[in-house]
Amino acid sequence: MSNYKLANRDNWKGRASNQQLYLHEKISFSSIQDPLPVTNNKTIALLGYSSDEGVRRNFGRVGAALGPDEIRKQLAKMPNHLKDNTRLIDFGNLECKNQDLEEQQIEFTKAVSHLIKNRATPILIGGSHDLAYAHYNGLLEHVKTKEKIGIINFDAHFDLRANTKENNSGTPFYQIATDHQDKGQVIKYMALGIRKDANTKDLFEFAEAHQVNYLFQKYFNMNYLEHVQLRLIQFLEDVDYVYTTIDLDGFSSAFAPGVSAPSPMGFSPDIVLESLKLIIDSGKLVGFDVVELNPKYDIDDQTAKLAASLVHYVIHNL
């Protein structure tokens, strides 16, 4: 993997306790090219998708390639509540070389598959949302023929744009949907936080044609919590495993100013955390990622801290 870089240990700094009270004291490091020691203990694998090529192709503002390391820096300072025998391992980043997004997706798929093969739960950080196509394919390699992976995407956008010209940050779920269509299957996809002002009518038509579950942003809030939970439960009951992805540009820019496509009209962290709790409690979560952090436009590391807090919540509730 010529585009692979080992983790930079300098990202993991913070207050010292000598008791592993903080995650920078808990973290260990490994290479994606090496097998992990066999163990029955839980292993949480951090891997970065250091690329914003998909954003550039999608006419967004670039800078998300810097996202993974900024998330690490904020996560490092957070308290450690993991069990002593739980392994938290940083596997570094895969970068996009020579604007070759397709090659990066292939290599990232292999990396995710490697983690699953070694019984690790992938927690992936980006980076542009084209990460999702590679993440999903890596998970899919370890699913039996009749088993179904459901995708839950927290996002303002469907990301169902056609890739007739090239793959980009707006095409990952279109690619997955058409891959399934070629096999005579239907994508199991739920999008939470969708906005009419962020998706063209042809995207809604494609979503309807492919039986995509979605909930508009105006209903994705704490006032409609019971409805959100019911929709999630119905979706979860119909799948064997769940891949969950959070696009930070789905949040209101009041919470997430440092993203590739900001908007004040997004959702808030409280409804996302309630939804994550239900997803994790189902016992079906097999992969999680958070994407589209753009540090170039962040304010006081607010978006990086939000992303790190989401990762912190997930790894402590698996």
Known binding-site residue numbers for Mn(2+): 129, 155, 157, 159, 247, 249
Q: What angle do CA 83, 85, 89 make, to 5 degrees?
A: 95
Quick one: which of 142, 138, 21, 44 has its CA closest to 91?
44
Q: What angle do CA 28, 30, 33 make, to 5 degrees?
A: 165
Report the distance separating Cα 73 and Cα 13, nearest Å. Answer: 7
Give Cα 194 to chain centroid, integer Å. 17
- Would you say 220 and 193 are in contact if contact means Cβ atoms under 8 Å apart? yes
Residue 5: count of CB within 10 angstroms of its CB: 12
Helices 131-140 and 101-117, packing angle to 10 deg: 40
Report the distance separating Cα 236 and Cα 313, nearest Å. Answer: 20
Buried b (16+ CB within 10 A) or exposed e, 105-139: bebbbbbbbbbbebebbbbbbbbbbbbbbbbbbbb
Query: Alpha-carbon Rg of the chain, whole angstroms?
Result: 18
Report the distance separating Cα 131 and Cα 124, nearest Å. Answer: 9
Residue ranges for the known binding site are: 129, 155, 157, 159, 247, 249
Report the distance separating Cα 134 and Cα 167, nearest Å. Answer: 12
